[in-house]
């Protein structure tokens, strides 16, 4: 089986053969990209290429840049392993025809990938992916694809500093340093740039998880290098407790995601969900843009929670739900000021980076903590004003993909009529509703007290499993504690169908 070229490019295990990430696969992928760019009228245009520090990244980077150079493109090859947001930023800054990032983000250590951006710095959309895949299929064998070395380029060497300068412009003068931060780079490539970005924003009291700070493609301290995974942030929270931090920040290995840990009133630390962080950042960004003659746009995906939508509606902004993935979120509408997805992706500067960016999100969170104090308290205040919201996921891994289709069919033809005692109705998002159509089913209901339940069921796009994204929420001022809401959410998740 051949590795497929999807809407984000290629991703898979590093191994020989057409079903693996290897120099041959990358060479032919780049030959296909060359053909597609030429068909778009972009022969000879600038193309930005970057890489992380995973196994194979240096060789895949060399193959990509050399194939592009031999085909006559103006290659801007970033000089060292670095975060994915730098490629998105540089592609937009230089008005390049495309950008390529060699990364598998937070996948396991054995994987690598080939992520493609188009002009403007956003991820490519269909049908471009299918067109590029067809060009890859038609490409000659890898050994027949010409390659030429790429010399050092002052434009490439300047990108990191230009990115930091953009953050200076985005956030303004540094704040008085009064926030102690615990930070982990999760064995990835974002640590140094994140520390510099925080320092330039005024945050110099930064303590790093030493065991996870330097890039290490084996990710020795975590089973999965993803801040969402249980246990992945244990060392970070232990450091935060030890150094009496005010804020804990976790980047994923390519630094396009950022997770935040907060200390509660009882002194214990916990990681916020992506939805909680999305509400915090979205509300803070709206502070910068409201009031406005033209309502600013905030975006979240159909599987994300609705607290940010509630905040935006109350404050006079426009909230847009899109399909999952930042390729959709950054195209939600203008003027876009913020976008997020529950999987810890945040875009706080769409004018410069049209993708998720963990480093700018980290700076924004630190500045919010400096301005407002405890982020746990800020979140509690938002929940008090706009209604308490709790979100969680349940994943059903299957042995055969056909089982997912059977489960989705059951949800469409015989959905639950109640969840946790609340009557619910089902909407087939392939055909129902005014929003984007996709292979998903949404269950919603509200009880007499105004407590609402919402569940979106959809097949995973990358793994053989079905995912439930659940939320329970209350109206503002409701006498329902966080513990009661969590218990209700657990009941909802337990009652969802587990088999066809």
Q: Which residues are known to be catalytic? A: 105
CA dist list (Å): 151 to 74, 78, 186, 280: 11, 11, 31, 44
For residue 131, what is the enclosing H or E element? Answer: helix 128-138
What are the counts of helices (DSSP H) followed by strands (DSSP E) for the chain? 14, 21
Share in percent of the chain as helix, strand, coil (round to 5) = 35, 25, 40
Look at residue 489 and give its three-state secondary structure. Answer: helix
| Residue-by-residue DSSP string for 224-262 | S--TTSTTTTHHHHHHHHHTT-SEEEEE-TTSSBEEEEE
DSSP per-residue string spanning 323-382: -SSHHHHTTS-SSEEEEEETTTEEES-TTT-SS--HHHHHHHHHHHHHHHS-HHHHHHHH
Q: What angle do CA 325, 331, 332 make, to 5 degrees?
A: 90
Give 383-419 as a DSSP string. HHHH--EEEEEEEEE-SSHHHHHHHHHHHHHS--SEE
**Cα 37 to Cα 73, 113, 139, distances in angstroms:** 10, 20, 14
Contacts of 182 (CB under 8 A, 6+ apart): 206, 207, 208, 209, 236, 237, 239, 240, 243, 245, 247, 248, 249, 261
In the three-class reduction of DSSP (H, G, I as helix; E, B as strand; rest coil), residue 472 is classed as strand
User: Around 284, how many Cα atoms within 13 Å sit in the side-chain half-sphere?
Assistant: 25
Cα gap 73→65, rounded to integer Å: 9
3-state SS, residue 438:
coil
């Amino acid at each position: 089986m051949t590795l497929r070229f999807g809407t984000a490019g290629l991703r898979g295990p590093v191994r020989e053969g057409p079903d693996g990430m290897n120099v041959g696969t990358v060479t032919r992928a780049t030959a296909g990209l060359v053909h597609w760019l030429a068909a778009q009228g972009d022969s000879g245009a600038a193309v930005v290429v970057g890489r992380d520090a995973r196994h194979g990244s240096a060789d895949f980077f060399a193959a990509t840049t050399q194939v592009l150079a031999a085909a006559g493109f103006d290659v801007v090859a970033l000089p060292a392993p670095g975060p994915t947001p730098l490629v998105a930023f540089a592609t937009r800054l230089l008005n390049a025809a495309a950008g390529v990032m060699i990364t598998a983000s937070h996948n396991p250590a054995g994987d690598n990938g080939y992520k493609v951006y188009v002009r403007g710095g956003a991820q490519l959309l269909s049908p471009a992916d299918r067109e590029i895949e067809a060009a890859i299929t038609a490409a000659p064998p890898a050994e027949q694809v010409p390659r030429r070395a790429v010399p050092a380029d002052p434009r490439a060497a300047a990108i990191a500093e230009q990115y930091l300068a953009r953050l200076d412009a985005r956030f303004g003068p540094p704040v008085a340093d009064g926030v102690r931060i615990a930070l982990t780079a999760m064995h990835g490539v974002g640590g140094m740039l994140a520390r510099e970005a925080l320092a330039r924003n005024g945050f110099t009291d930064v303590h790093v998880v030493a065991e996870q700070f330097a890039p290490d493609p084996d990710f020795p301290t975590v089973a999965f290098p993803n801040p969402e995974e249980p246990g992945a942030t244990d060392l970070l929270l232990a450091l935060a407790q030890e150094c009496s931090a005010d804020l804990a920040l976790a980047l994923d290995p390519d630094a396009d995601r950022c997770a935040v840990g907060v200390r509660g009133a009882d002194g214990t630390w916990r990681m916020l969900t992506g939805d909680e962080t999305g509400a915090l950042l979205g509300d803070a960004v709206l502070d910068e843009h409201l009031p406005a003659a033209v309502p600013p746009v905030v975006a979240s995906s159909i599987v994300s929670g609705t607290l940010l939508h509630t905040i935006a509606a109350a404050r006079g902004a426009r909230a847009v739900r899109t399909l999952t993935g930042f390729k959709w979120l950054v195209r939600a509408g203008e003027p876009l000021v913020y976008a997020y997805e529950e999987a810890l992706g945040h875009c706080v500067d769409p004018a410069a980076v049209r993708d998720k960016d963990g480093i700018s999100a980290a700076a924004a969170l630190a500045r919010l903590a400096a301005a407002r104090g405890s982020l746990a308290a800020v979140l509690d205040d938002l929940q008090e004003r706009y209604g308490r919201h709790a979100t969680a996921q349940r994943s059903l891994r299957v042995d055969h993909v056909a089982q997912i289709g059977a489960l989705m069919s059951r949800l469409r033809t015989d959905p639950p009529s109640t969840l946790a005692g609340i009557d619910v109705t089902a909407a087939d998002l392939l055909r129902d509703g005014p929003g984007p159509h996709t292979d998903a089913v949404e269950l919603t209901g509200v009880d007499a007290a105004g407590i609402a339940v919402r569940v979106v069921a959809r097949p995973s796009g990358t793994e053989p499993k079905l995912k439930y994204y659940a939320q329970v929420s209350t109206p503002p001022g409701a006498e329902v504690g966080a513990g009661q809401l969590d218990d209700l959410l657990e009941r909802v998740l337990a009652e969802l169908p587990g088999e066809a």
